[in-house]
Amino acid sequence: MKKRSFVVILLILAVVLTLSMTACDSIFVNKADPTRYYIDIGTVDDARTASIVANNNIASCVRVIAEYKNGSTITTSALSGFIISENGYVLTNRHGVVRFSSTSSDVPQNASDKPMSADYSVVFADNIQYKEVKLIAYSLSADLAVLKIDMPLLSNKFQPVVFETQRKLYYGERLYTIGNPENIGLVLSELTVGNPEIKLNSGDSFNSIVLDGNINHGNSGGPVFNAYSRVCGIICSRIGIDGGSTYGLSCAIPTSTIIGFLDSIKNAKINYKTTPVSTGSGEAA
């Protein structure tokens, strides 16, 4: 009889404890409204993410070397770039691979100006270098240019990046770039979105992405990857004020502008994909 009473008491206590926990849960746990937007960053801040992004894309990233010839004078420019199609098209910045003798810059004096003669080299992470490289196209409205590697073998295929098409960036999102700072070789840098969409110059036809992170001379033309290893922009410059540079801040051209330019490039088969929203998580609008 005592034993049965003891069991009954235990059952009563268990029921009371369960009801108490349920009450506390309803009081202290915020039951998310499924219509309320929120951001689930998952493992973006996990150090393993940087390693995964780097290993997924290192074969697609390159150093770009341009040698401009003006009489007996040769000027060298070194920057970054990345493979956008398996048949050897490379995307980079215009300001590193285009130069006009009339202005000594990448901006022509008039519409009839032609770029200076230049020799281009593309160097991969394993130090394999291609010197048969041609300038295919460039944009004057955006700091973008496309080079083409003439492949020695028709069977040779390069590993292209994958572009993000719809998923928008948000403040504080962790991004990554692989570039060629100071022409020392390919280096991974972690970045943070300071502003996902801002017009830095009144004359720009597009909004820029402001990035907080370690960007140096030579990083120009490097791809900006999100945590899903997809390209969401291209580094174009550090932010300058009155001819100087603001320490630690840089800007990138967003994918929307890049795709608008690449759509005009014939024979370049580009990989465009959209990162799906994870089950149970929202996304920045």
**Domains in the chain: ranges and CATH:** 47-58+162-254 (2.40.10.10), 60-149 (2.40.10.10)
Q: Name the band, by pLDDT with cuts 50, 70 and 90, for residue 157.
A: confident
Answer yes or no: is pLDDT of 283 > 50: no
CA dihedral sign, ordered 99, 112, 140, 201: positive
Q: Edge-to-edge strand order for the sheet containing 89-92? A: 129-130, 118-124, 61-70, 73-83, 89-92, 144-149, 133-139
Answer yes or no: is pLDDT of 195 > 80: yes
pLDDT at 21: 53
Contact residues for 239 (Cβ-Cβ < 8 A; gap 6+): 200, 210, 245, 246, 249, 250, 251
pLDDT at 20: 57
* pLDDT, greater one: 3 or 219: 219
Q: Name the band, by pLDDT with cuts 50, 70 and 90, for residue 34.
A: very low
Residue carrying the six token digits 């048969």? 132
What is the rounded distance in angstroms from the CA atom of residue 176 to the CA atom of residue 222? 10
Answer yes or no: is pLDDT of 71 > 80: no
Answer yes or no: is pLDDT of 141 > 70: yes
Task: Tell me the one-letter amino acid at 241.
Answer: I
Share above pLDDT 90 across residues of the chain, in percent, rounded to a whole number: 44
Choice among 89-103, 131-145, 208-222, 233-247 with the minimum mean pLDDT: 233-247
pLDDT at 278: 44
